[in-house]
A and B are shown apart, each in its own frame.
Chain A
Amino acid sequence: MERFDCVIVGAGHGGAQAAQALRQNGFEGSVAMIGDETELPYDRPSLSKDYLAGKKPFERLRLRPEAFWAERGIALRLGRRVVSVDPAARALGCDDGSTIEYRHLIWATGGVPRRLTCAGHDHPAVQYLRSRADSDRMIAALPGIRRVVIVGGGYIGLEAAAVLRELGKAVTLVEAQERVLARVAAEPVSRFCEAEHRAQGVQVLLGTGVEEIAGAEGGGCTVRLSDGRDCPADLVVVGIGILPEIGPLAEAGARARDGIEVDAFCRTSLPDVWCIGDCAILRDGPGIRIESVQNANDQAATVAKAICGRPEPYAATPWFWSNQYDLKLQTVGLNLGHDATVLRGDPAGRTFSLVYLREGVVIAADCINAAKDFVQARKLIEAGCHVPADLLKDPERPLRELLEVV
């Protein structure tokens, strides 16, 4: 049996940052990080972008060099999955039968891809994209693949579509909603992205779902859609969201809904158990889990400070990015509950922003090839000020100037 002063479950962006932030904040106790993958912490967003495209080798994705963890006194227990939490004994049970005791526990497990459940969902052509192993499996299969069906028009689906088109594959993207990015962006951004993908040769099918994956003669499969259409495919990439990996912690009694509930310091309802990143949901926050590197990193810093006795509530402005073809999409803020949008610039010019307001206050912005707006919208959001729509919509007027006029 091992015992550590702080055990971090999850070796992704959140876990890795928590470990290093503990040391940066002067934590002198023993630290261990448990990860179910065998890899050292790596940059996950690249899996659906440069790594899948073959533009970056895996070595360049490592968040820290191999020696770093030992130098910082962070024990790595990789290739191991935590299957139970005993909050009374402060002990974790692992899938290899081992037990690890903790003084503090940071749960940073992220999520697993939501799976298809239709007939044929286990067809070998069906693949997901969340881990290095997923990406490697796809890369290994690519030479023999001509036709790809992508299920899901969210960021993962769109990024995969862009890479696979650039690699010359015939790509069909199927989205159950009436527009892509329906969960995260308003219509003008959705329509712009849809048009870009169509212009790149992606067949975009909206408002239809997958009924069945049928085996086909001579390898590959047929994706049968709810509108009756059949799409032949050599590869089916499913990107329909993630499910938070919270089972053992929820079973141990941590208050949970679609994620582990945490307070502003990322504390769960269990003593000395903290939760960060994709699998956490702020109790008094926007009511959704935030799936982003920024959120994982900044919550890791929040936990480290709290454990080191200098608590500061989590108050970071969310931001996110996606790269598709030559497009840079950057989002700042959260558009939940917006009651108005203002378009800055002309989507036809491929540089524009969509600003989201609630009761006249700027709460978020989606910026396409518009880093200046991305940077300056943050200041407006953080200022929480009212900005007249007619000033916002003029792309010639820098957003920063609006801070001064209002």
Chain B
Amino acid sequence: MGTITLKTRDGSVHEIEAREGVPIMELIRDAGIDELAAMCGGCLSCATCHVYIDHLPEGAELPGLGRDEDDLLDGSDWRRPESRLSCQIPFSSSLSRIALTIAPED
């Protein structure tokens, strides 16, 4: 268990309850945030769950950026160095208090 701090496109900030092992895309979706289309359901076939990692808790590490994820993010006009696909980051307690922003819609 833990929490995620999420900034949505309207600038509002949400504290989301997080569950171990669940991809962050699903945590955002299950919190009732409707801004993530997540059209492919998390199978790494699109880039509609794009987020920016604003802050990583001390000592925490994200899983590495995969080749497909890198390529899919390249299709976004809004890619930044801190871009990730949230379906590719399973939550773990070390990530508690990670801060994210939902990227603009492509």
**Among listed A65-73, A138-146, A243-251, A261-269, interface-contacting one:** A65-73
| CB <8 Å contact, B40 and A321 | yes
Given A68-B34, A371-B68, also A321-B43 (CB < 8 A): yes
Given A293-B40, A319-B46, A321-B46, is A60 in contact with B26 using a C-beta cutoff of 8 Å?
Answer: yes
Q: Within 8 Å CB of A65, what residues of B?
A: 29-32
B75 A375 Cβ-Cβ under 8 A: yes
| Inter-chain contacts of A379 with B (CB < 8 A) | 75
Q: What residues of B have a CB within 8 angstroms of the CB of A24 in the complex?
A: 34
Residues on B with C-beta less than 8 A from A328 are 44-45, 68
B20 within 8 A of A: no
* A296-B39 Cα distance, complex, nearest whole Å: 10
- Alpha-carbon separation in the docked complex, A50 to B41 (Å): 10
Please, how many residues of chain A have a CB less than 8 angstroms from a CB on the other chain? Answer: 33
Majority secondary structure of chain B interface residues (helix, strand, loop or mixed): loop
Contact with B along A59-103 (1 / 0, CB 8 A): 011111101100110000000000000000000000000000000
Asked if B54 is at the interface of the complex by the 8 Å CB criterion, the answer is no
Judge whether A344 is part of the interface by a CB distance below 8 angstroms: no
Question: Which B residues, 33 to 51, have Cβ-Cβ distances below 8 Å to chain A?
Answer: 34, 37, 39-41, 43-47
1/0 per residue A321-340: CB within 8 Å of B? 10100001010000000000
CA distance A321 to B41 in the complex (A): 11
CB of A404, distance to nearest CB on chain B (Å):
15
Distance in Å from the Cβ of A290 to the closest Cβ of chain B? 14
Tell me, yes or no, whether A378 is within 8 Å of chain B by CB.
yes
Give the contacting residue for A378; candidates B37, B41, B75; CB below 8 A: B75
Roughly how many angstroms separate A23 CA and B34 CA in the complex, as a whole number?
A: 10
Q: Contacting chain B: which of A41-49, A149-157, A228-236? A: A41-49
Given known A-B contacts A64-B32, A319-B46, A297 and B37 have beta carbons under 8 A apart: yes
Q: List 12 A-B contacts (CB under 8 A).
A: A62-B30, A64-B29, A65-B30, A319-B46, A321-B46, A323-B43, A328-B68, A371-B67, A371-B68, A372-B74, A374-B71, A375-B75
Instruction: Rank and list the top 3 A-B pairs by shortest CB-CB distance, nearest first.
Output: A375-B75, A321-B45, A371-B71
A residues with CB within 8 A of B: 20, 23-24, 43, 45-46, 49-50, 60-65, 67-68, 71-72, 293-294, 297, 319, 321, 323, 328, 330, 371-372, 374-376, 378-379
Known A293-B39, A376-B75; 4 more pairs at CB < 8 Å: A371-B68, A375-B72, A375-B74, A378-B75
